[in-house]
Amino acid sequence: MNEPQHESSMTPLKSQESTEIARSYQLPGGCPWDGEQTNRSLIKPLLEETYEYIDAVETGDRDNMREE
């Protein structure tokens, strides 16, 4: 079975890279908002961003896909 072709040239971050970026926001001197967040407090913004990304995919808006 062939792997699906990607629709864009965006290179996804590896899980470890994403984790390192997220941790850097919570370090002293990082983003104060990020440092205050909990798993529960992130539910609403995560859902909003997910729906925005889905909308961008459905409309074929690659620039918005990258943004989201």
pLDDT number for residue 1: 44
pTM of the model: 0.55
pLDDT score for 11: 65
**Confidence at residue 47, expressed as pLDDT on a 0 to 100 scale:** 96
CA distance 55 to 45: 15
Residue 59 class from Cβ within 10 Å (0-12 exposed, 13-18 middle, 19+ buried)? exposed
Domain boundaries, the chain: 15-67
Greater model confidence, 7 or 66: 66
Q: How do residues 15-68 score in pLDDT, each as one tens digit? A: 777 778 777 777 788 788 887 888 899 999 999 999 999 999 999 999 888 887
Structure token digits, residue 4? 């699906």
